[in-house]
Amino acid sequence: MKKTPLYEAHLRHGGRMVEFAGYALPVQYTSIREEHLSVRRGAGLFDVSHMGEFLIRGPEALAFLQWATANDAAKLKVGRAQYSMLPNARGGVVDDIYLYRLAEEEYLMVVNAANIAKDWAHLKKLSQGFAVELADISEETALLALQGPKAASLLQGLTDTDLSQKRKNDVFTAQVAGRPARLARTGYTGEDGFELFLDPEDAEAVFEALLAAGATPAGLGARDTLRLEAGFPLYGHELTDDTNPLCTPWAWVVKKEKEFHGKEAMLATPCAEKLVG
């Protein structure tokens, strides 16, 4: 079982560790209810370092992503992000992802931990013929999620960057507690918040600084109840290789006006059942 850079910190703070996607992660610290409400009312802090991160670079990075993803990556300006999906050849979903445009020819893709190997193989295969380079930086990246109505004010005390000028889905670099970070105003709880991409060696210092500033540590249990309450899918549950996204509440992600891998099969597959909620 793999450990994130925060494994020892979780133990110190009373995290109840479980296996998830091959990683030892805290399912809770005190109680799922308390942690859930902390995010809804204040600021909760999650270790999501198990997630996968891929860099996509090159002169045809955008063309490749337009083909590989269901959303319209062309709408992303530098410093912006979007939710998207990786369609498969039969019109199902390889994974749901978040895509960040870091520079004119550079993107960051965050994928689900259980799908890292599958997504990597899928993208490498699709990238053939495109002038693009892919790099799996999952093991070189720690990821924290600070979520809740007080997340911005709490984080502001640890950075000189004016967070009031940052919108939902913005991505930018900043110093947090004296450590370099890439921040994104994104999350998986339905609340305002930020995700912090860090060097693994800096993760514990930033984690402890956020807790000292008033964040509540939260585990996988609250992460699941929060995303359910917000109506967000979890791959392997609401989305699978056999799920046509047009038959779900997330059909809006699919931009039918562009060409993408699996489009013909997706549009030709009728909805035998429809997911609602």
Binding-site residues for substrate sit at 195
Exposed, middle or buried: residue 268 (CB in 10 Å: 0-12, 13-18, 19+)? exposed
Question: Can you list the alpha helix ranges (DSSP code H) found in the chain?
Answer: 7-12, 32-41, 61-68, 116-126, 151-156, 200-212, 220-230, 263-268
Numbered residues of the known binding site: 195
Which H helix or E strand runs over 103? strand 93-103
User: Cα separation of 178 and 102, whole Å?
Assistant: 22
Q: Is 106 helix (H, G, I), strand (E, B) or coil?
A: strand
| Closest C-alpha to 53, from 129, 133, 107, 125 | 107
Three-state SS for 116? helix
Tokens of 275: 């997911």
Give the count of beta carbons closer than 10 Å to the beta carbon of residue 116. 21
CA-CA distance, 196 to 143, in Å (whole number)?
Answer: 6
The identity of residue 52, as a single letter, is G
